[in-house]
Amino acid sequence: MKKAIQLLISLILVASCSEDNTIDKVPDNSNSTFISGVDISSYPEIALSNPTFYDFDGKQKDFFTILQTNGINTIRLKLWVNPVNEHSSFNEVKQFSKFLKSKGFKIWLTLHYSDTWADPGSQETPSAWKGLDFITLKDSVYTYTKKVVKEIDPNYIQIGNEINSGILHPYGHISNNFENFIKLIQTGVSAVRANSKECEIILHFAGIEGSEWFFNQVNPIDYDIIGLSYYPIWHGKSLANLKSTMRTLSETKNKKILIAETAYPFTLQWNDWTHNVVGQNDQLILPDYPAAIEGQKKFIDEIKSIVKSTKNGIGFCYWGAESIAWKGSQSTNASSWENQALFDFSNKALPVLTEFRNQ
C-alpha cells in the first residue's frame, strides 16, 4: 500500500512540472480570508493517466499553477476509512495534503466516516466498525479523528459529509437515534478541539430545504462553520432562496457560513461514454444560466456574490474541478462530471476559473 501511495505522489509531482521544465511564478493566496476552494479528491487517481492541462491561451501548464494563478487557495479532499483501493485512503490523503501544503494551499478535509460515499441517502458504517457496541464505536470515531487531525493537520475539517440523515447508520441516524447522532458528532468535535487550536470545524448539510430545522437540531454542538451543498439539479433552481436561507442561518446561528459544494455545466455534451449526472435542460436554471461556457461562469459569479453579500459568508468550494474524462473517450466507468469540470474537453482552463480570484 505504501509503495502504491509513493508511486501516486511521484506521478503527481511529475504531472505538476510544466512542459518546458520552467517554474511558473504563482501568487501567494494563503493570506486571503475568503475561501476560494475546489474539491479535487480524484486527482491522485486521474494523475495515473498522466494528463496534460492547458491555460487559457492554450499553453501547457502545471495543473496546480493554473489553480493558484486564478486565486484558488483551498483544496477540499474526501477521506474514507478503509476504501477498496488506495484512493481517498488515509495514506493517500495524508501524502497528497503534504504535497498541496508545499504548494501553498490550505487543506479542507471531509470525513465521511465510511468506506465509501456518504451523503443524505447513504451513511454506511465502515466495515471494521460494524457490530461494535456504542461506547466502542465512539472510541473508534475519536481515535480516528484524532489521528487525522494530528497527522494531516488540516485548516478545516468536516465532521461527516452531507449529514442530513445523520452519520454511521444505524447508530447515528438522525431520526431513529437522534441522541446517539449528537453524541457521535460531539465525539468527532472533541477529538478536533483536543488536538488542534487552529482547525475550524464545519457541519455540512446538503441543500436548502430543511437546513434551518437541521441547524436548530445541532445547537448543542461546538462547531465553527455552516456548510451547505447547492446543486440546482437536486436543491432547487432559486438562487434567491439560497441567498435568503444563507442570510437567515448566518444571522440566527451567528456562525460563519459557506457553500461547501457546488458545480455547473459548461455543456450538455459528453467526452466519454460514462453517463453524466447533468445532461438535460430541465436540470438547469434557464434562461439565465445555460449549459455554456458563459453560463457556467455566470453561475459561479452569482454564487460568489451571494456568499460575499451574506453576513459571515466566508467562501465557496467547487466540486469535481478536476473531473475530466481521464480514461479516454470510450470509457464507460470514468467521469460522470466532465461537462462540469473547470477544464474543457481538451483539458484547457475554462473562463469560470477567473471567478475564483478574490477581487
Q: What is the pLDDT of residue 18?
A: 44
| pTM for the whole structure | 0.94
Mean pLDDT of 57-74: 97
For 315-340, the pLDDT digits (tens) are 999 999 999 999 999 999 999 999 99
For 260-282, the pLDDT digits (tens) are 999 999 999 999 999 999 999 99
Q: What is the pLDDT of residue 32?
A: 78
Q: What is the pLDDT of residue 21?
A: 42
Of 16-20, 34-38, 64-68, 153-157, the poorest mean pLDDT is in 16-20
Count of C-beta atoms within a 10 Å radius of residue 315: 25
Is the Cβ–Cβ distance between 222 and 253 less than 8 Å? no
Q: What is the pLDDT of residue 19?
A: 44
Give the three-class secondary structure for 193. Answer: helix
Q: What is the pLDDT of residue 20?
A: 42
Residues with a catalytic annotation lie at 162, 261
Is the Cβ–Cβ distance between 233 and 265 less than 8 Å? no
Query: What domains sit in the chain, N to C, each tagged with a CATH number?
Result: 2-356 (3.20.20.80)
For 224-245, the pLDDT digits (tens) are 999 999 999 999 999 999 999 9
Q: What is the pLDDT of residue 210?
A: 97
- For the chain, give the mean pLDDT: 94
Q: Is the pLDDT of residue 302 over 80?
A: yes
Q: What is the pLDDT of residue 288?
A: 97
What percentage of the chain exceeds 70 in pLDDT? 92
